[in-house]
Structure 1
Amino acid sequence: MNRIRCDRTPAWSQLQTAFESTGCAFDVRSAFAADPARFEAFSQSAPHVFADLSKNRIDTATEALLLDLAQQTGLAAHRDAMFAGEAINNTEQRAVMHWLLRTPPLDPAMPAQSVHRHMAETLHEVHTTRDAMLVFAEKVRADDAITDVVNIGIGGSDLGPQMAVLALDEFVLPGKRFHFVSNVDGHELNAVLRKIKPENTLFLVASKTFTTIETMTNAQSAKSWFEARGGTDIARHFAALTSNVAAARAFGISTTFGFWDWVGGRYSVWSAIGLPLAIAIGAQGFKEFLAGAHAMDEHFRSAPLAHNLPVRLGLLDVWYRNFHGFSSRSVAPYHSALKRYPAYLQQLEMESNGKRVDVTGAALPYGTSPVIWGEPGTNGQHAYFQMLHQGSDVVPVEFVAVKTPRHDLPGHHTLLLANVLAQAQALLLGKVDAGGHKHFTGNRPSTFLLLDELSPASLGALIALQEHRVFVSGSVWGLNSFDQWGVELGKVLAKDVEARLISGNPQGLDGSTAGLLARLAPGLQPCPHPQTPSLGSASA
């Protein structure tokens, strides 16, 4: 596999020339006036998702150059290497196979299936583990004594299942409540413990290594709370999502579901980390969630680059970040159940592509991941949309809307859809005001993603679309999108600072940290739980 960095390709120079000549002054309103078929040219369907890209600052000539850039950087070969199980995570010498977690079993009668035969045994292990997890999920669903499920994890072991359970709330089994604890701040765990009873609660401890400091601190505190209130059956009320079975057993947990080192934390909702979702929506619902993602995998794997939605989105991200200089993207889901979707995308993109060096460790002369931020739509309209419409910075917006609601309250969904359409229209058209205060420049770019309904299958497809889109931009930028060394340094330093907070010893610290230590240290107590620094990803 030959990867060539984007700035070393002919297409990069051609894109720079195109931007300087016409792209910097590109007006989408004029483009619509000149081309009645613009909507058709810049919109497309992919599994469960319809995308309208026509309000973006792009034309067919620019997109053709971006496709040349993808070809010259070896995007297709890089994608194929991922699906072949090659160790494309070069700094950790690991394959990247989260897509395998949603791949159906091999059918001996279909030799042309997309999974390479050398991965057949691994795929069998995936299905064996998943089947056992789903059996357990159904057992919990049938247990009326368990009314509360508390997931204790952090990063990908929290954001993925939390976002998905909230998004699919309409599918959640009545009589079960789901809680998510990630922050080592004891206020978060304490707020959950006030709502539950030991005899009615199942705790899920989600940590690949079973050593992640935040997760294990919360798990030990939950265990102490459980025992202090008369709980005795740890094996019944605690389960672990981990590969460290021995550590889980030492904790008192006998039910464990593992996963593999080729599953990064932010890509792990498809694995045993998705157990809270499986309990919430059931085995069949979880299988539909996986099937939706697999359909998007097949689209990404097989669709021509020019008609490949993850590719088109990822290349648009490169165009905006490196040529227009847009340093952030706002995500505006117009569905209240997608309230944690922007936060999920923050980790997915910024942890994957928030890198300043390429795969060889060489410093990059161009920007990589934009800042991802947002809130559910109509709430955002009354908060930060002022800046999106009239601020001095141009921020591309990605709207997500759902055609069919799952409620029957009259008028609500019509008003919601009217708002999302109007906001996208207002960003595009703008408004002239000679006085200035009510002037909207318009020509502000947006993308519109539309789902027919918010279901397990469509949510799975939407998440997989975003995973592959991040792969595309990271591949073009020449990154390893699958490590995250940047999360480790602060965690390592925290061990030293924790000891100093107890001892009050500032020796050798910088002046600021020493000054703050003097104000914070008096009266602090050590954590009663033994803590071991995580040796793996902080997001797992």
Structure 2
Amino acid sequence: MLNARTLREWITASLGPQAVAKHMVAISTNLTLVEKFGIDPNNAFAFWDWVGGRYSVCSAVGVLPLSLQYGFSVVEKFLKGASSIDQHFYSAPFAKNLPVLLGLLSVWNVSFLGFPARAILPYSQALEKFAPHIQQVSMESNGKGVSINGVPLPYETGEIDFGEPGTNGQHSFYQLIHQGRVIPCDFIGVVKSQLPVYLEGEMVSNHDELMSNFFAQPDALAYGKTAGQLLKESVPRPLIPHKTFSGNRPSFNLLLPSLNAYNIGQLLAIYEHRIAVEGFVWGINSFDQWGVELGKSLATQVRKQLHASRKKGEPVEGFNFSTTTMLTRYLQESADVPKED
């Protein structure tokens, strides 16, 4: 809301207060506050008040900005793709239900095998923000320590999600995945490249080169490499312990036909329903987020202190020693920061 008020001030300063109603729209469930802010309620896009922010991509919260960026004809295909997985999740038997199977695998890996993390590894640069998005959807939903009835859980829930596109990750954290901690991996590949390139005389196209890694990495995780195999390859004995791969490390491959809007809608819906399945099995509420609220309430105290110290010169009080020290230093060193025009 501070950002919204900042934009309102910018528009008003240039075009006058009457311009707010014509140049700003709102996505809100509270039309009274929309009008009070200065936006015409006819320019407000409603959405369901029971939809959490991380699940709101398919509501007006996501569809409006996506439509402005790509056009609604594209976004409509995205919504139809998501809807197709909704119907699959609702109607397919469990043995063939993709979100159910993936959710059960995650529960097995986390609660039974004790693997705390999951790597999301799309072999497409266009999906570079997919892993960070799933971080929020998953960790904000299933990061719980009590059941839906408020009883402390006797097992771990939730996964530590992280990831990077394709070969970026291979040169970043795959070393840990192959020979360090066991981290289940989601490999996401695409059959058709968005920008196909083939250089004359090369063995394979650029996309085939990328996909060679996509197919090889899960095999390396699953089967590893034994000391016996290394001996047959005449690897020096001192290097054998360093080049041995234990294998038996879980992963799965998801292969998309292409990266069109419909398939992206399907991909997102698969993960959203998968996360819901995990929550159902764990017996937790995947749709609240009380863990976020404590930080917000403490931030309110800090905000009041900053105001009191800057405007009235009041000392920092009511915080622990560490925070008091840092806040005091912050106020001292930021006092002379020149204000922007």
User: What range is the shorter-chain TM-score in?
Assistant: 0.7 to 0.9
CA contact (8 A) 1:289 1:458 kept: yes
Q: Which amino acid aligns with 1:420?
A: F
Deviation by residue 1:287-344 (Cα, 9 ceiling, x = unmatched): 2111111111111111111111111111111111111100000000111111111011
Q: 2:197 aligns with which of 384, 409, 418?
A: 409
CA displacement at 1:229 relative to structure 2 = 4.8
Q: 1:471 aligns with which of 276, 289, 301?
A: 276
CA displacement at 1:424 relative to structure 2 = 1.7
CA displacement at 1:247 relative to structure 2 = 2.2
Q: 1:345 aligned to 2:155?
A: no
Deviation by residue 1:21-59 (Cα, 9 ceiling, x = unmatched): xxxxxxxxxxxxxxxxxxxxxxxxxxxxxxxxxxxxxxx
CA displacement at 1:268 relative to structure 2 = 0.7
Tell me, which stretches of 5 or more residues in structure 1 are unaligned?
1-215, 526-540
**2 CA distance for matches of 1:359 and 1:505?**
42
CA contact (8 A) 1:430 1:442 kept: yes
Q: 1:236 aligned to 2:22?
A: yes
Deviation by residue 1:250-277 (Cα, 9 ceiling, x = unmatched): 3322211011222111111111112111
Q: 1:256 aligns with which of 38, 44, 48?
A: 44
Deviation by residue 1:65-98 (Cα, 9 ceiling, x = unmatched): xxxxxxxxxxxxxxxxxxxxxxxxxxxxxxxxxx
When you count helix as a share of all residues, which structure comes out higher?
A: 2
Moved more, 237-246 or 226-235: 226-235
CA displacement at 1:367 relative to structure 2 = 0.3
Q: Which amino acid aligns with 1:222?
A: L
CA contact (8 A) 1:501 1:524 kept: no
> What does 1:209-248 align with in structure 2 at a 5 Å threshold?
216-229=1-14, 233-248=19-34
Deviation by residue 1:341-368 (Cα, 9 ceiling, x = unmatched): 1011111111111110001101001000
Q: 1:513 aligns with which of 301, 323, 329?
A: 323
> What does 1:86-485 align with in structure 2 at a 5 Å threshold?
216-229=1-14, 233-254=19-40, 255-273=43-61, 274-391=63-180, 393-410=181-198, 411-432=205-226, 433=230, 434=237, 435=239, 436-485=241-290
State the Cα RMSD in Å: 1.7
Tell me, which stretches of 5 or more residues in structure 2 are unaligned?
199-204, 231-236, 336-341
Summarize the Cα distance change of 1:494–1:352 in structure 2 as closer, same or farther, 3 Å threshold: same
Q: 1:490 aligned to 2:300?
A: no
Sequence identity, in percent? 47
**2 CA distance for matches of 1:523 and 1:444?**
50
TM-score (norm 2): 0.86
**2 CA distance for matches of 1:482 and 1:377?**
31
Deviation by residue 1:508-539 (Cα, 9 ceiling, x = unmatched): 321111121121122657xxxxxxxxxxxxxx
**2 CA distance for matches of 1:339 and 1:229?**
37
CA displacement at 1:374 relative to structure 2 = 0.6
1:522 match:
332
Q: Which amino acid aligns with 2:73?
A: Q
Compare CA radii of gyration and give the structure with the larger one.
2
Q: Which amino acid aligns with 1:507?
A: E
